[in-house]
Amino acid sequence: MPQLVSELNLPHLDMMGLERQQAIDAIVAARSVHWLARTDLGYAVTRLQDVTAILRDQRFHSALSVIEQSPELEGTHFHDERRTESILTMEGEGHARLRRLVAPAFTPASANRLRPTMRAVVGELVDRIADQGECELVADVCDPYPIPIICELLGAPPEDWKLFSAWATDIFRIFNNNLAEDMPLIVRAGEELTDYVGEMIAARRADPRDDLLSDLIAIEQEGDRLSTEEMTMLAQAVLMAGTDTTRNQLACSVALFTEHPDQWALLAERPELAPRAVEESMRYLGAVRGTARFASEDIVYRDVLFPQGTLVATSLAGANRDPEAFEEPDVFDITRERGAAQMTFGAGIHFCMGAALARAELQEALPLLARRLPHLARNGDIEWKPSTFGIWGPARLPLSFGS
C-alpha cells in the first residue's frame, strides 16, 4: 500500500537565499536522510536516478504552465485562447509532434554551421578587452554573446540584435518572482517579438534563405505543417530559452575556472578538451539548477502516492553532484572521463532542444577565452544573482588577466 507523500516524515529543503556551496550542502544533508524532501511549495528530488525518473514520467507535467496560470497574468496574452501554447509547457502528442517536426533544425550538424559565427562574435568581443588586462566578463562578453547567434539562427539582421537583446531581457522577467511589477514589460516585449517574427515569416515565405525560419516554413510544406502561430511561438521559445541560459552558463563556467587556474591553463594548451570542459563545468556549476513538475493525476512513485496537483522540484544541481552517479562529485576535473551525463540540460521529453547549439557556443567560447585571457584571476568579488532566479549565475564577474 503506497504511503501518502504528506504523511511521510521528510527533511525540509529550503534553498532560498542560500549561497552556492550552502545550497549544495543543504541538498547533501537532506538526501542523507531521505530520497525525497519537503519544500515550501511541495517536494523535491535530488538524486540523479529520481530526477531522471520524474522528468521522464509523462504523468508529471511541466510546472512552467503553473507560472502562466498565475493571477498576475490574468487578462494578458498568456491567457488569450488564441495564443499557441509554448513548447516548454505543452505535453503529450501535441508536444511530441512539434519536437518531431523541428528536430532536424536542432541537430549537432545544424549547430556546427553556426560555429564560424560563434568564433567571430567571441573573437570580436575579446578583441575589445584583451589589451586592457581586466574586464567585467558578464557585461563585456557573456551578455552580448548569444544574441547574434540566435539572430543568425533565426535570420534577423545585425541592426536588430539590440532589439532582440532587450526583448530577451524583458521576457525573462517571468522567472524572477516579481510578476506584479514586471508584467507590463513582459507583455510588451512578447507582443513586439510576435509582430517582428510574423513579419519575418511573411518575408521568408516570399524569399527563403538559409535560416531557421526558412527551414520551419519548408517543414510546413511537407504534409504535416507548422502554422504561423507555431513558428512564432518556436522563435519566441528559442529566444527565451536560448539566450539567458547560455549567458549565465558561460559566466558560471568562467567563474569556476578562476578557482582552478591550472585547468584554465590546461584548456588553453589543449583546446581539444573543450567538449569535456563544457560538460564538466555544466555539471559542477550549472546555470539551470533545477526545474519542476506537477502531478497531472494521482501518481505512485517508489511506493509513495503523489496526489494530483503535487509540485515536485527536480534538482539538476543535486543530480549533478550525486555520488552514486559521479565518482568524487565535488572534484572539478575537465579531463574527467567516466560517470553519467551531466543533467543541466534536463531530461525526458522537455530535454533542452538547443543543447547542441548551447554546447557549440560554449565549446567555441571557453578555449578561445582561455587562450586569449591567460593567468585569469578575480579582480574583486563576484556578485551572484539572487538564488530565486530560475536561470542563475554571476551578475558581475570582474576579472584580471595577463597577455
- Positions touching ligand HEM (CB under 6 A) are 62, 87-88, 99, 237-238, 241-242, 245-246, 249, 287-288, 291, 344-346, 350, 352-354, 357-358
State the nearest-atom distance from the C-beta of 67 to ligand HEM, in Å. Answer: 11
Q: Residue 201 or residue 358: which is nearer to ligand HEM going by CB?
A: 358
Q: Residue 114 or residue 382: which is nearer to ligand HEM going by CB?
A: 114
State the nearest-atom distance from the C-beta of 291 to ligand HEM, in Å. Answer: 3
Q: Residue 156 or residue 305: which is nearer to ligand HEM going by CB?
A: 156
- β-strands 304-306, 3-4 pairing: parallel
**Residue nearest ligand HEM, Cβ-based:** 354
Q: Residue 294 or residue 306: which is nearer to ligand HEM going by CB?
A: 294
Q: With helix as H, strand as E and coil as C, how does 74-125 read?
A: CCCHHHCCCCCCCCCCCCHHHHHHHHHHHHHHHCHHHHHCCHHHHHHHHHHH
Nearest to 83 by CA among 101, 99, 65: 65
**3-state DSSP call for residue 296?**
coil
- β-strands 377-378, 3-4 pairing: unpaired
Does an H or E element contain 164, and which? Answer: helix 161-171
What are the helix (H) ranges across 243-302? 244-258, 261-269, 274-284
State the nearest-atom distance from the C-beta of 1 to ligand HEM, in Å. Answer: 31
Report, in this order, helix, strand and coil percent for the chain, each rounded to 5: 55, 10, 35
State the nearest-atom distance from the C-beta of 149 to ligand HEM, in Å. Answer: 8
- β-strands 36-38, 134-136 pairing: unpaired
* DSSP letter (8 states) at residue 141: I
Q: Residue 99 or residue 225: which is nearer to ligand HEM going by CB?
A: 99
State the nearest-atom distance from the C-beta of 186 to ligand HEM, in Å. Answer: 18
Q: Residue 277 or residue 305: which is nearer to ligand HEM going by CB?
A: 277
Q: Which residues fall within 8 angstroms of residue 152, CB to CB, at 6 or more apart? A: 114, 117, 211
Does an H or E element contain 44, and which? Answer: strand 43-45
Which residue is listed with cell 529520481?
Answer: 50
Which residue is listed with cell 563576484?
Answer: 382
Cα–Cα dist 146/262, whole Å: 27
State the nearest-atom distance from the C-beta of 3 to ligand HEM, in Å. Answer: 27
C-alpha cell at 298: 494521482
Q: Residue 144 or residue 346: which is nearer to ligand HEM going by CB?
A: 346
State the nearest-atom distance from the C-beta of 245 to ligand HEM, in Å. Answer: 3
Taking CA atoms, 362 is separated from 2, 111, 256, in Å, by: 44, 12, 14
Q: Residue 38 or residue 293: which is nearer to ligand HEM going by CB?
A: 293
Cα–Cα dist 149/169, whole Å: 16
Cα–Cα dist 189/295, whole Å: 31
Handedness of CA 36, 40, 42, 45 (dihedral sign): negative
State the nearest-atom distance from the C-beta of 2 to ligand HEM, in Å. Answer: 25
Cα–Cα dist 152/146, whole Å: 10
Q: Residue 217 or residue 250: which is nearer to ligand HEM going by CB?
A: 250
Q: Residue 172 or residue 401: which is nearer to ligand HEM going by CB?
A: 172
Q: Residue 258 or residue 314: which is nearer to ligand HEM going by CB?
A: 314
